[in-house]
Structure 1
Amino acid sequence: MDLLRSCKKTVMASALAWTALAASAQAQPASPAPAASWPPQPALIAHRGASALRPEHTLAAYQKAIDDGADLIEADLVITRDGVLVSRHENAIAILKADGTLQEATTDVSARPEFAARRTTKTIDGKAFTGWFVEDFTLAELKTLRARERIPLLRPASAAYDGQFEVPTLEEMIALARTQSAHTGRTIGLYIETKHPSYFQSIGHPLEKPLLDVLTKHGLNRADAPVFIQSFEVDNLRALHAQTPVRLVQLMTPNGSPFDQAREGVPRTTYAKMATPAGLAEIATYAQGVGPSKTMVIPVTDGGHGRPTSFVHDAHAAGLLVHVWTLRPENAFLPAQLKSAPAGNGALRGNARADMDAFLRAGIDGVFTDDPAIGRAAIDAMQRKP
């Protein structure tokens, strides 16, 4: 509680300062083209912003990430009823349990009586969810909502900022990245995920054309743009490969199949097959990189880091960059040997630096992290070594 009270004392001042910064971002000119060496290697990717410190997918989280040294800020893109791309982890902005109580929320929509009638049940990638969904709101309506910390029990300091920030649009993110590129003298890139592309295609709100339209509008639909586009699905990346020179990344999990490859029943492929040398060579025909879950690179063995797999070597042999997801600082997300005592307290910060160092030693080309300051310190220390 002392931590919460301390954080809340600065929230209003922080929110006012942030509002002024976000407004100035809208007025900034385009940043210069990135240097030929971009992206830096290893690239430090702010997963949903500095999401261990501020409510995820907010301009405040992105600004904190940039302040802490991130090279790229990540956006999970979904689309409003009136066709505007916004940044949310899911199109569900509040999800209810079977008993009607709140399970998870990234906005305060469940507490807004004017939107009570928007509550509904939808099937997303084969799973039913009851709650509120971005595609049922116009941008103007969505902008009346305020962001919330998604996992407040694990991140109470971030939850102290609940109610202070809006849901940002992709164009607001571009404006911020350009402002901060000019301010810092380093290129701040965008790492964009098309979220549930098959679902949005099925309801008549495909994500790809609006995304390319925005990138084109801002001069970013080019091969050397400081932009990556990522997806867990395959067909949309193949389609994008034919439509844009922007770098593409195939996301992967240890198990299961891309939804678009499995929705007809028998999967056309699985992530396990895609992670083989032959599968990675096939990915290289339409993408420039892969984003594996971290255990695909370093498995957990006996509560600690095991021997790295051949994934990085195999991906590099196929000509692919490897951007690992996601490194987080709290006990809840660390191997047992890196947890702080008491290990059962998931909100405590463990030895996240040792976790980061292990993955950097594995030869990855980039890393997604919820706390970019840890990644920045680790990368800088590695690069200082002779």
Structure 2
Amino acid sequence: MRIHNVSKGAVALAAAAVLLAACGGGDDKGDYPTLTGDKPLVIGHRGASGYLPDHTLEGYRKAIELGADFIEPDLVATKDGVLVARHEPNITATTDVAQRSEFAARKSKKLVDGVSEEGWFVSDFTLAELKTLRAVQPLAERDQSHNGKYLIPTFEEVLELAKTEGARLNRSIGVYPETKHPSYHAGLGLALEDRLLAILGKYGYTSKSAPVIVQSFEVANLKYLRSKTQVRLVQLVDANDVNADGSMDLTAPYDKPYDFAVAGDARTFASLLTPAGLKDVKSYADGIGPWKPYLIPSKLVDANKDGKPDDLNGDGKIDERDRVMLPATDVVKNAHAAGLFVHPYTFRSEARRLASDFKGDPKAEFRLFYQLGVDGVFADFPDHAKAARD
């Protein structure tokens, strides 16, 4: 998933807290306003990416230690066709490749979903070469002390970790892979789907009860996967930004699934969240993974009507702390009515990523979304998600 800066949550926080307190921890079926009544899942977004570099075995292990029910590897393919966990095909920001003189000549420009990018790309490296690189923390405000320490894991290594840690802790640890830029990979002759299915088949993960959920921002590849497997599938829903008034900014290329753009399909991501769109999604997927402002938006305030947003906290800059939460939309209600579970992304705990309503408390944001009835959350800090839930 992309790094979005908008974090939300508001109105009736006290009611949310009362609701969850009444749940007594949510261990019993029927306690939560989720699709099934079960407590919502905590999904370790790229591992425990608030603490350790994204997509490393150490980060995934940390997420499990902090209570994540699922860990999330984004999948891309190497030159020799191996699925590895990286946020994007371009690894310039997430590895030390730019400092590796032996790979200087690999720097190139590629078109990824219609956007020109420059850097180093996984598809230009064999697995053996990738294993010589080390992961780094891509967000400057987060702990940089682990940079250069951890390897890039394969998808199979992530599955093995989940299996081993699950056995050690005597609880199920799920894996929630995302097929990254499937059209791009298909164009390189490195299609992700059959590779993914082969690995899942090797582990016996073929049914809806398997500890696996597969997600994608595209649609055609999910339909293909549905024809081949019964593991749970999730349609991700993106946007470019959130406007000052809380409406969604659907500027290309983040306006629609890329396979829609290729096919000339006029529908946008927002189209997928209408009642008719959700009914269509249900024909090939089990859930949706919307960017969270689709569920509860927020707005900037212009009390003076001077065309400039108010600096609510007086820190001299405008960010999430200056946004005010708005009432929830009907997306969760409509998705549940269609039989789809809802797993919004991405919850980040830094104060500057939290709307003014939450007063710097990330658990307050989680409580609001749990009250709304989401079935799981993608969290960079899984311990905060778990604490708010339990």
| Aligned mates of 1:160, 1:267 — CA distance in 2 | 45
Alignment of 1:40-51 (within 5 A): 41-51=39-49
Partner of 1:346: none
Q: Distance in 1 between matches of 2:37 and 2:267?
A: 30
Match of 1:80 among 65, 78, 81: 78
Deviations 1:49-75 (A, max 9, x none): 110000011111101100000000001
Partner of 2:120: 132
Among residues 258, 275, 278, which one is paired with 2:276 in the alignment? 278
The C-alpha deviation readout for 1:180-218, integer Å capped at 9, x for no partner, is: 111111100000100000000011100000100011111
Aligned CA distance change for structure 1 residues 166 and 141 (closer, same or farther; 3 Å) = same
Q: CA deviation at 1:39?
A: 11
Distance 1:178 1:121, change over 3 A: same
Long gaps (5+) in structure 1: 1-35, 95-104, 340-349, 381-386
- Give the AA of the match of 1:369: A
Percent sequence identity is: 49
Q: Unmatched 5+ residue regions in structure 2? A: 1-28, 31-35, 240-249, 302-322
More helix by share: 1
For 2:271 and 2:120, the matched residues in 1 are separated by: 35
Provide the secondary structure at the position in 1 that maps to 2:73. Answer: strand
Higher deviation after alignment, 231-240 or 36-45: 36-45
In 2, the alpha carbon distance for the partners of 1:328 and 1:84 equals 30
Q: Distance in 2 between matches of 1:72 and 1:128?
A: 33
Figure out how many residues of one structure are paired with residues of the other and give that number: 321
Q: Distance in 2 between matches of 1:193 and 1:204?
A: 18
State the distance in 2 between where 1:169 and 1:305 align: 40
Structure 2 residue identity aligned to 1:323: H
Residues 26-37 of structure 1 aligned to structure 2 (within 5 Å): none
What pairs with 1:1-386 in structure 2 (closer than 5 Å)?
41-94=39-92, 105-152=93-140, 154-155=141-142, 157=143, 159-254=144-239, 255=250, 256-264=255-263, 266-301=264-299, 302=301, 303-338=323-358, 350-380=360-390
One-letter amino acid of the counterpart of residue 53, structure 2: P
* Root mean square deviation, CA, Å: 1.7
8 A Cα contact 1:315 1:321, kept in partner = yes
Counterpart-to-counterpart distance in 1, 2:328 and 2:371: 10
Please state which structure has a larger fraction of its residues in strand: 1
Where relative contact order (Cα < 8 A, 6+ residues apart) is larger, the structure is: 2
Per the normalisation by structure 2, the TM-score is: 0.80
Q: What one-letter code is carried by the residue in structure 1 that aligns with 2:112? A: I
Residue 253 of structure 1 deviates from its aligned partner by: 1.8
Distance 2:358 2:369 in 1: 14
Tell me, in whole angstroms, the C-alpha distance in 1 between the residues paired with 2:155 and 2:324.
38
The alignment partner of 1:144 has SS state of coil
Aligned-residue offset at 1:293: 0.6
Shift of the alpha carbon at 1:40? 5.5
Are the equivalent residues in 2 in contact too, given 1:45–1:70 (CA < 8 A)?
yes
Question: Contact 1:71 / 1:188 at 8 angstroms: preserved in 2?
Answer: yes
Q: Shift of residue 170 of structure 1?
A: 0.5
Q: Deviations over 1:331-374 (max 9, x none)?
A: 332213435xxxxxxxxxx3111111111111100100000000
